[in-house]
Amino acid sequence: MGITTYDRPEMLRECLGSLLSDSSDDFEVLVGNDNPEKPLSPEALGVCDSRVRFFNRARNLGELGNLNALLSEASGLYFTWQSDDDFYAPGYLAWARSCVERYDIPDAMQCSFRTATCFVSAPSCGAIEDELFSGPELLARHWGGSAPMMALTGMYRREWLLGIGGLARLCDAPVAAMSEYLLLVQLGQLRRVVYTPEVLVYFRVHEGSWSMTTPDIAAWETAAEGFVARALPIIQGPAYEDRYVLHYRRVLQHALGNVSTVLARPAVRPSWRRESTFVWRFAKTCFANSVKRPLVSAALTTSALFQFFRGMKGWIRSVG
């Protein structure tokens, strides 16, 4: 399990505590500290546990670099990522362990999640119900709203993650903007994925979260283009054919929805010229990567961009 951290020792301590309550010794926790000026140690954190290893980076690798470095430093059969500000429910590791046994080493395991504004002592889990899906089937359920999950906190076969090159870089910024959404689409290529609707992961919302507060609209627009350039060719494959319209629509909604969210932040001043240029590039990228059912793809792209433009008029009017 790879945890990225940067100058949030209290949250990191809570995150680690939510894992280390598990008494088994068949897992390791790798902590990648991206602040060279403030090295971490077990003694400083008060977390002296042989299952935890700290990697104090000699230089700031950025979020994406840190995430992929942790993957390369791991050694287990499965791997998952987590950020220092999020945490787990009791029973998460026990459930994953039981899935490996009951489903004969599945390709991946996914669970539901909940947002929180602070650390909470999650209730202990009783019997956890789960089900085995094909990747495309689970992805379609997720798009439809019946299988909420976060891509990064899924438990994946480590060799598969290494085989796809880890998390993809979709923009020039050091963060993993939209990389997790591409991983979600890539999950659809797997044959056997276990899913439980039980909430076993908590996503913490707070003012220090980069993804919740950043005004770097250029990074998110570039990432949106990179995301559709990588995701649309994947969903052209036969495994996605039965629900092609759903997959295509959700890929575009995720890309444009994230850009819309950043544009609506008070620190961002929308610009007709910049956003019009982005829309033109985005449309060209969509059309270039939609060889299957081109007319349907063109109609879905046009509809998504029309909705984006309607929102953009409101943002620009709001800033005068």
Other Cβ atoms within 10 Å of 320 Cβ, number? 5
pLDDT in tens, 18-46: 999 888 889 999 999 999 999 999 999 99
Contact 134, 195 (CB under 8 A): no
Q: Which one-letter DSSP state was computed for residue 189?
A: T
Q: Where are the alpha helices (DSSP H) in the chain?
A: 9-20, 42-45, 62-73, 92-102, 135-144, 158-163, 179-187, 210-213, 217-235, 244-263, 272-288, 294-318
Determine the Cα angle at 14 with ends 126 and 109, to 5°: 45
* Complete DSSP assignment for 75-123: -SSEE-EEETT-EE-TTHHHHHHHHHHHTTS-SEEEEEEEEESS---PP
Residue 7 has pLDDT above 70, yes or no: yes
Phi, psi at residue 121, to the nearest 5°?
A: -80, 95
The Cα-based distances of 18 to 116, 120, 122, 188, 308 in angstroms read 14, 10, 9, 29, 40
Name the band, by pLDDT with cuts 50, 70 and 90, for residue 254: very high
Residue 309: its pLDDT value, please?
82
Mean pLDDT computed over every residue of the chain:
92
Mean local confidence (pLDDT), 123-138: 88
Name the band, by pLDDT with cuts 50, 70 and 90, for residue 320: very low
Name the band, by pLDDT with cuts 50, 70 and 90, for residue 318: low
Residue 35: its pLDDT value, please?
96
Mean local confidence (pLDDT), 277-300: 93
Mean local confidence (pLDDT), 159-175: 94
pLDDT above 90 as % of the chain:
78
> Look-up: residue for tokens 């649309």?
232
First-last CA distance in the chain: 47
Residue 171 has pLDDT above 90, yes or no: yes
CA distance 282 to 108: 31
Mean local confidence (pLDDT), 286-311: 91
Class of residue 53 by CB neighbours under 10 A (exposed 0-12, middle 13-18, buried 19+): middle
Residue 206: its pLDDT value, please?
79
Question: Amino acid identity, residue 215?
Answer: P
pTM of this structure: 0.93
Residue 155 has pLDDT above 50, yes or no: yes
Reduce the DSSP state of residue 199 to 3 states and report it. strand
Name the band, by pLDDT with cuts 50, 70 and 90, for residue 115: very high
CA 304 from centroid of its chain's CA atoms: 22
pLDDT in tens, 220-252: 999 999 999 999 999 999 989 999 999 999 999
Name the band, by pLDDT with cuts 50, 70 and 90, for residue 269: confident
Identify which of 141, 142, 111, 117 has the alpha carbon closest to the alpha carbon of residue 129. Answer: 111
Name the band, by pLDDT with cuts 50, 70 and 90, for residue 270: confident
Phi, psi at residue 53, to the nearest 5°?
A: -120, 135
> Look-up: residue for tokens 């089900």?
131
Residue 174: its pLDDT value, please?
84
pLDDT above 70 as % of the chain:
96
CATH architecture of 2-211: Alpha-Beta Complex (3.90)
Q: Tell which wins on pLDDT, 273 or 286.
A: 286
| Every domain of the chain and the residues it spans | 2-211, 214-318
pLDDT in tens, 64-114: 999 999 999 999 999 999 999 999 998 899 999 999 999 999 999 999 999
Q: Which two tokens stand for residue 156?
A: 């994946």
Residue 310: its pLDDT value, please?
81
Other Cβ atoms within 10 Å of 215 Cβ, number? 14
